[in-house]
Chain A
Amino acid sequence: MSFAWANSYEPKTDLTKWLDEKLPVPRLVYNAIGAGYPVPRNLNYMWNFGVLAGFFLMFQIITGIILAMHYAANTDVAFGQIEHIMRNVNYGWLMKYAHANGASFFFMVIYLHIFRGFYYSSYKAPREMIWLLGVVIFLLMMATAFMGYVLPWGQMSFWGAKVITGLFGAIPFIGEPLQVWLVGGYAPNNSTLNRFFSLHFLMPFVILGAVILHIWALHIPGSSNPTGVEVKKESDTVPFHPYYTAKDGWFLGLVLSLFAFVVFFAPNALGHAENWIEANPLSTPALIVPEWYFYPFYAILRAFTGDLTIPFTGIVLIEAKLLGVIAMFGSILLWFFLPWLDKSPVRSGSYRPLFRIFFWIFVVDMAALFYLGGAKAEEPFIVMSQIATAWYFLHFLVILPIISQIEVPKALPFSITEAVLGKDEGSSKSATPSAPPAGAMPEPAE
């Protein structure tokens, strides 16, 4: 599954020859992330975040396993156990802060990865499956992070868990029993903590499995690129190693330096002070909000303040809480339909003048939702989050489909080679601004 001109693996030593016959792992690595994988030569830094996400996934798994060696999932001792890690375990404070801030960085990286996808419409054919798996991964990540945040059993752990599990109670008829079943009681308790620990340990490995599928799916068409013009020939590509290993390598160093700065000098800047207070079911915090990476979706949840009623009768059709829950889950689930909502044949936002304007408006809208999700539930924030939420849905479900019908895209370069070098022998230079049809990519060899 690669282009015809991909380098092929030649084992050189007796050992690698022997290994290649018995279990060709070196060949697999060579073809997946080595010199045997041709990648478009014009990728910009937005294409670095996939590898960074992979790094942070492994980082979370490793620090998490170490933390689990010293943690105890029991409501009587969990909070003190974290203090034990912070104080008595060798470099326990480092593991705890690295894991907590690692989650934040993981989400930062993923948000950039997803927004790269929005701008360059990486979700379009032939990469729909990569995108669909990505959305699954994102949902799994949210569930994992939510359950992880409950483990220290601080005030926000408890009350956040109570609010979020309470959402299931909004489902008609089966809501209450479902919620009690999920939580193992009427409010988060020792059973909840135990199952959350179990699942929080398990789910990263499920994510890892989904990531392997994600990358497998990626290797069939190969990466897209900032022009959105598919690879046509060898001069459009460079081998992944050493070109992209070098680029990913130094960029990882840069991001890690930033990460280290937060871990060592401002480890609590991204968290909530309340979570350093042990959970107390009898004392409700003044403001219950999740971690920052859930803010946009929390803002959408809270935007629905009025029940859906039949006007002038007072008959409630759908309660506000359920509307909020539908909208919150819907806001992510709609990403699954993105490849079919945006039918513009041009991929890259850089060649789509109208799309580009709305893309940046959407970025501002998301930034607003990020801010509003953490704000107090009072005016003017409520009205603002209602407007921002409305725009969110309009953008994906109404504006994108319409733009893709009416927009006149700019002329695309003939090839990646032409985009980089300014010339390409194969180009007739008369290339009309027609986008490559979805299947216009070289037949993947093998």
Chain B
Amino acid sequence: MTIRLGGILFGLAITGVLLLWSLLPGALNFAFPTKPDYYAFQEKNIAPEGGFSFDGPLGKWDTQQLQRGYQVYKEVCSACHSLKFVAFRNLQEIGFTEPEVRAEAASWEVPGIDPKDGSAIKRPGIPTDQFPSPYANEVEARAFNNNALPPDLTLITKARKDGVHYVYSLMQGYNEPDPEDVAKSPDFETPPGLYFNEYFYNINIAMPPQLLDGIVTYSDGTEATTEQMAQDITAFLTWAGEPSLIKRKQTGWFVIGFLLFATFLGFMSYKTVWATKKPKKGSPDLV
């Protein structure tokens, strides 16, 4: 009895406090939020026509595309962005042969030490090195980028909501602002040193447009349009973020198939075991 009385009192007290001191003041000047009067970014990303080759439970890497994406990373993105969790040896997974990987690694300069006097030098990479950062440290990175910090790209497709499509959209998001939206948002402007990009949460991004038509010359002869490069770099970064993606899905089929089979066997034995204990309509012989 005391517990119930105490409970009722505590319950009434806490709801009373909540309703009178928190809800009431809020409710007095409560208004449903209207459409924001700032220029809101596009939360809905675009996807390439026909999707990516690695989409869906049956997806596969398109190694040709991953290699093109690697080329875009190397020739464009790597000027500002690191890819620190990927090693050159990983390139073998996207179709480079071992000698190619060695040559590829050697074409990058990585920090090392002089074997004679131990001073800091740059040396050509070897397959076990990770991709080097373009800047010595964060201060240098910001100094070069209008005080913005170019993020590491290894996990970018996982570190943003709907990340794969986000990267694809962002690369193509340097459009003209929508005049209607601009009219509705009196404060809207793009300050110098920033660039309008409707997929960026802040609408203005410190990264200039990168994938201008023809900025790379694909070695496999594919035409390097903005859309094509956006697709390729997105595919490459998806692989970089999760190299095990395809293996994971393939393993998944096998595991789920096995589990469903075991479940089916288990269900049949459950039925057999319970046959005499479950009431069936019109069967009097239950025990």
Interface residue A176 (Cβ < 8 Å from any Cβ of B): no
Known: A249-B270, A303-B18, A380-B32. A340 touches B260 (CB 8 A): no
Interface residue B102 (Cβ < 8 Å from any Cβ of A): no
Report the nearest A residue to B287, measured CB to CB: A235
How far is it, in angstroms, between the C-alpha of A268 and the C-alpha of B161 when the chains are bound? 10
The reply to whether A260 and B256 form a contact with Cβ atoms under 8 Å apart is: yes
| Residues in B3-50 with C-beta less than 8 Å from chain A | 3-4, 7-8, 10-12, 14-15, 17-19, 21-23, 25-27, 30-33
CB distance from A238 to the nearest CB of B (A): 6
| Residues in A245-262 with C-beta less than 8 Å from chain B | 246-247, 249-250, 252-254, 256-257, 260-261
Report the nearest A residue to B31, measured CB to CB: A379
The reply to whether B3 and A340 form a contact with Cβ atoms under 8 Å apart is: yes
Point out the residues of chain B lying under 8 angstroms from A254, CB to CB. 263
The reply to whether B27 and A383 form a contact with Cβ atoms under 8 Å apart is: yes
The reply to whether B7 and A334 form a contact with Cβ atoms under 8 Å apart is: yes
Interface residue A205 (Cβ < 8 Å from any Cβ of B): no
How far is it, in angstroms, between the C-alpha of A202 and the C-alpha of B270 when the chains are bound? 37
Point out the residues of chain B lying under 8 angstroms from A326, CB to CB. 14
The reply to whether A260 and B263 form a contact with Cβ atoms under 8 Å apart is: no
Interface residue B120 (Cβ < 8 Å from any Cβ of A): no
Interface residue B262 (Cβ < 8 Å from any Cβ of A): yes
Partner of B17, one of A249, A265, A308, A343: A308
CB distance from B265 to the nearest CB of A (A): 8
Point out the residues of chain B lying under 8 angstroms from A261, CB to CB. 252, 256
Interface residue A20 (Cβ < 8 Å from any Cβ of B): no
CB distance from B64 to the nearest CB of A (A): 23
Point out the residues of chain A lying under 8 angstroms from B269, CB to CB. 246, 249-250
Band of interface residues on A: 35 or more
How far is it, in angstroms, between the C-alpha of A340 and the C-alpha of B5 when the chains are bound? 10
The reply to whether A304 and B33 form a contact with Cβ atoms under 8 Å apart is: no
Point out the residues of chain B lying under 8 angstroms from A201, CB to CB. none
How far is it, in angstroms, between the C-alpha of A249 and the C-alpha of B201 when the chains are bound? 48
Interface residue A396 (Cβ < 8 Å from any Cβ of B): yes
How far is it, in angstroms, between the C-alpha of A243 and the C-alpha of B64 when the chains are bound? 56
| Surface stretch bound by A, among B192-200, B203-211, B271-279 | B271-279
Partner of B30, one of A257, A340, A379: A379
CB distance from B161 to the nearest CB of A (A): 5
Known: A247-B274, A394-B11, A401-B7. A320 touches B22 (CB 8 A): yes
The reply to whether B17 and A323 form a contact with Cβ atoms under 8 Å apart is: yes
Known: A256-B259, A273-B163, A343-B4. A390 touches B248 (CB 8 A): no
Point out the residues of chain A lying under 8 angstroms from B144, CB to CB. none
The reply to whether A387 and B273 form a contact with Cβ atoms under 8 Å apart is: no
Interface residue B60 (Cβ < 8 Å from any Cβ of A): no
The reply to whether B4 and A386 form a contact with Cβ atoms under 8 Å apart is: no
CB distance from A247 to the nearest CB of B (A): 6
How far is it, in angstroms, between the C-alpha of A422 and the C-alpha of B255 when the chains are bound? 43
CB distance from B115 to the nearest CB of A (A): 27
Interface residue A352 (Cβ < 8 Å from any Cβ of B): no
Report the nearest B residue to A398, measured CB to CB: B11
User: Could you list 17 A-B pairs, sorted by A, with CB under 8 Å?
Assistant: A83-B155, A86-B244, A243-B277, A250-B269, A250-B270, A252-B266, A261-B252, A323-B17, A323-B21, A334-B7, A386-B19, A386-B23, A393-B15, A394-B11, A398-B7, A401-B7, A421-B279
3 closest A-B pairs by CB: A397-B11, A264-B252, A253-B263
